[in-house]
Structure 1
Amino acid sequence: MFVIWTSLELNKYFNIHHAASISQNSIMKGKSKVYEVNKPYLSSITLDNGKTLQDDLSGTTSSPHRNEHGIHWAMAAVFIVGDMMGAGMISLPLALGNAGLGPGIAIILLASLFSGYTGIQLGDNWTMLQNRWTEYKQHCRRPYPEMAYRALGPWAKQAVSILLALSQFLIASVLLLMCAENLTTLLNVFFGWHLDFCVFIVALAAALWPLVMLQSPMDFWQLAIISAVSSSLAAGFIIAGSIHDSSACVPSRKLPSLSFTNFSLAYGTIVFAYGGHGAFPTIQHDMKKPQYFNRSVFWSYIFITIVYVAVSTTGLLVYGNSMVDTVIPSIQLKWISQTINVMITLHIFPTIVIVFSPLSQQVEEWFRAPNEFGVKRFLIRTLLLGCSTFLSLSVLKLGVFLDLVGATTITLMTMLLPSVFYLFLQASWKKRQDAIQSGLLSSNSPDDQIAKFSDIVYYTPKMILLFNVLSLTFGFVGGVSSAYSAIKELIGAHQVAPCYVRWFQEGFLGHSNGGSTHCCGEFSNVSYYHDISVCSVRP
């Protein structure tokens, strides 16, 4: 709670500082009220007394943008939980072990602080866009690239469009792979079926096919609730299952060995767990009152951070280095482990639909597809789902693949770009006010000025600038080192033939070695039930 509160206070200080400085400049130059161009943005800042900052400074009244058919901010918080918490959460205990208990918790908290802060910045960026440029109050397919366009220019818009599409595409592929593994384990445990999990990748893609045709998050709010509830229940079961196994596993537990590679890979996993920012602007745009998106981020992050710390700490202290990819197979109480499997699967399945929304809308914009269901939408989204399925069938190293995605595209979308856009947008806004105030620019002139780096240094309060430098440094250094380690690990790892190659070699039936449980202990041979036949053969 402290880390999110800190980011909100810094953000609040930033907004009030800028508005107050503008008001002061106006008074010093003989103006009796804030000039007109300030009013839209000032109306988006709500003070503790319930008045907007514009009302407080100038005594006027304005109405923030409202989307009468949009979702409530509490529902937006549910969307954030459903979008973020689940797939990354079940890998956090292993990531915590790779980083070390103390340093690992520190990384989780820092990632929460900085990604929560950048989430708030994304919300403020979109509120500013809607108030400075009225066209954004209508339906917008790609709000994230529009931020890049207004902050840095047309080149940034195209670059971010490609990056956003790639990021959401890779996330969807990871989730599809993880969901297939969960279903394979379920059938193995309860029915003794040893079907190749590649078959389930194709089956899941077929089930997702009609759902990815939905237009926006407003069209599948029920799925967001299912996703958030199921992942929350899964977190509780993980903690309960770990406590159940502690009497047998803790005496023989061995923590993972520490190394630079393991430590940097942990960063990628942790950032992946906080990597929902690509969908944030889409969720905010569909809110009834988009200016309240900060509330959604605040409460969802408090809940997510508490869950992440509890799950990762409990899993590591009980199972140590016996975990492989995720904590689920290490839980030895069968009904709990498989209930978690079901809950995580229920989480991942709708999350894939949520993740596909900004990806699909971006690609449809490139191909000028109409904003309603038709042949173009059907073909584009079918092709995207097919490509994601093909990637999942090709890349079978789940853990390393997850780390690589977290270290590259998600680090950019979550830890770096929101702050860059925020600093440039705020500086260009303040620079424009100064130009209007000095008579160099008319208030009716197009709002198309792009700030320079020197403008950011000049116009940004030093405390806010320092905090953003720390946030960007954390994201950049961690992302580069984690990406390097993930690529090195991926190249050096034992290669597994893609699914479609193995289908030709072995058929559709898989081969089972031992049980389905990753037994605990230094040598993965300790069973709570004193029956090593349930233990799986580790790779």
Structure 2
Amino acid sequence: MSGKRKHPDYYKLDNSVDFDEKRKISNELTYTPEEESTGLINRNNASTYITTKRPKGLNILSAAIFIAGEMAGSGVLALPRAIVDSGWIGLVLIVYFCVNAGYGGTRLGACWAILEERYPEYRSPVRNPYATIAYRAVGRWGRAVGIGALLTTAFACIFIFAQIVKDGLDLTESVKHNSHGFRSFFLAFGTILFSFGGASTFPTIQNDMVQKRKFSTSVIIGFSAILILYLPVAAAGYFVYGDAVDTNIVLTVKNTTLVTMANMLLAVHLILAFLIIINPVCQELEEIFQVPHQFHWKRCLVRTGMVCIMVFVGESIPKFGKILSLVGGSTITLLTFVFPPFFYMRLCDQEKQQDWPERNIPIYIRVYLWELIFIGLAGGTASTYSAILDIFGEYSVTKPCYLN
């Protein structure tokens, strides 16, 4: 078997063999690189030939673009205020959470690789990969959407950073940096966590890749791009505006052409990234309601209903920063920092079956994984509690947009 490997997709030229037999042949067939290059494989020296159909999907760079495109967005607008509330240590937290969220993403990739090793039914596209991992533990236009989501955020960050620098050059008074308590710190903690949310879409992106085992490379590239976008805006907002910075940095900088262009680009980003972010959620709902895989009126109904619910929530709770802190400290903490390492350890520790490859986690990796879980739970709980107090505080309740 040396020099040969399984091919994921075959179809039979000879119509005398029925579909089930074709599937059996495709599952058993192996081929050499020379046979793949010709596209024709002689089976048992017979006159029946099988032709290979090359797999389609995302490459490493495309997957990295999707990761960065769906994650880098509105979270960057709240980072300067989060740095003010947490102090300069917030800049360290950005780097720390970026590294940890990225590592958690690679563990999700490893989880899916384990599932494909153990369960052949998951080697074909799956609608709900994140939920599938949890269950087992306890095209071109798409590429354009990913590129557009990333580029619009990148240029918006550049424009905002340029305006902050311009405002900094015009400063005539010293910038104030007041001390803040634990409540403000944990609210900032949740906001920073929100900026690195999006891990729930990682298995879906990986599931669309041709080389799924190289997903970790895509994660590293994607998170490096995110860090390059986040740090300059967050640091500049902190040092230039100090305590005067708003929860949305765009509301703090002077209203110039640069800011207008940044707003327009961020609006475009939200439209493009929305398609990437909402897709895993909609696919999960479609799986629950048994919506057909092909285009169907049920799919339109489910996705329209999902959008209506999201609009209602946004109109009901208009406070921007408080929502970021609440979501960042609760669901995003679990999906990005707690579940990925926990699922990975559970899958590796499961009792080995006869045909399962052996997987061992080194002790230092296991300690690091438990550290991620502990920090995620402790910080997420404190952040969620602080956000709830802030949302329902005596002077914090704001009427919904449709009542105000």
Q: Report the CA distance between 1:460 and its aligned residue.
A: 3.4
Aligned-residue offset at 1:131? 2.1
Query: Any idea what the Cα deviations from partners look like across 1:192-231, whole Å, max 9, x if unmatched?
Result: xxxxxxxxxxxxxxxxxxxxxxxxx865321211110011
Distance 2:211 2:299 in 1: 28
Matched, 1:123 2:109: yes
Q: Name the structure 2 match of 1:500.
A: 402
Which of residues 355, 361, 364 in structure 2 aligns to 1:460?
361
Q: Find the counterpart in structure 2 of residue 374 from structure 1.
A: 296
Alignment partner of 1:109 out of 85, 95, 101? 95
> Aligned match of 1:81 in 68, 87, 95?
68
SS at match of 1:291: helix
CA contact (8 A) 1:218 1:286 kept: no
1:173-252 aligned at under 5 Å gives the runs 220-249=142-171, 251-252=173-174
Aligned residue in 1 for 2:12: none
Determine the structure 2 residue equivalent to 1:208: none
Note the 1:107-506 alignment, pairs <5 A: 107-152=93-138, 220-249=142-171, 251-332=173-254, 334-428=256-350, 431-432=351-352, 436=354, 443=355, 460-492=361-393, 493-502=395-404
- The residue type equivalent to 2:116 in the other structure is Q
1:67–1:384 distance in 2 versus 1, CA, 3 Å: farther
Structure 1 stretches (4+) deviating beyond 4 angstroms?
60-63
Can you list the C-alpha shifts for 1:473-508, whole angstroms capped at 9, x where unaligned? 111111011001000000114322212223xxxxxx
Aligned partners of 1:250, 1:134: CA distance in 2, in Å?
A: 66
2:85 alignment counterpart: 98
| AA aligned opposite 2:84 | G
Whether the aligned pair in 2 keeps the contact of 1:67 and 1:289 (CA below 8 Å) is no
Calculate percent identity across the aligned residue pairs: 33
d(CA) in 2 for partners of 1:252 and 1:395?
Answer: 35
CA deviations 1:92-136 (Å, max 9, x no partner) are: 1111111101x1122112101211110110111112212221111
Deviation at 1:62, TM superposition (A): 9.8
Q: Secondary structure at the match of 1:501?
A: coil
Structure 2, unmatched stretches of 5+, are 7-29, 34-52
- Distance in 1 (CA, whole Å) between partners of 2:60 and 2:113 is 14
Q: Give CA-to-partner distance per residue, 1:350-402, whole Å, 9 cap, x none.
A: 11111110111111111111011111111111111111111111111111011
- The AA in structure 2 aligned to 1:349 is I
Shift, 1:461, TM fit: 2.0
Q: Distance in 2 between matches of 1:144 and 1:284?
A: 11
In structure 2, distance between residues paired with 1:247 and 1:279? 41
Instruction: Tell me how far apart the structure 1 counterparts of residues 172 and 370 of structure 2 sit (CA, whole Å).
Output: 41
Counterpart of 2:17 in structure 1 is none
Amino acid at match of 2:386: S
Instruction: Give the letter aligned to residue 262 of structure 2.
Output: I
Displacement of 1:256 after TM fit? Answer: 4.3
Using the size of structure 2 for normalisation, the TM-score is 0.83
d(CA) in 2 for partners of 1:250, 1:376: 60
Normalised TM-score (structure 1): 0.63
Measure how far apart 1:249 and its partner are. Answer: 3.5
Change (3 A) 1:61 1:150: farther
My pick for the range that moved more, 393-402 or 331-340, is 331-340
Q: Distance in 2 between matches of 1:475 and 1:338?
A: 36
Q: CA deviation at 1:67?
A: 7.4
Which residue of structure 2 lines up, in the alignment, with residue 69 of structure 1? 56
2:246 aligned counterpart, secondary structure? coil
- 2:387 counterpart letter in structure 1: A
CA deviation digits over 1:216-247, x for unaligned, max 9? x8653212111100111111112211110013
Write the distance in 1 (CA, Å) between the matches of 2:76 and 2:252: 15
Amino acid at match of 2:289: F
Amino acid at match of 2:253: I
Residues 67, 287 of structure 1: 8 Å contact kept: no
Whole-angstrom CA distance in 2 between matches of 1:67 and 1:145: 28
Could you tell me how far 1:251 is from its partner in structure 2?
2.6
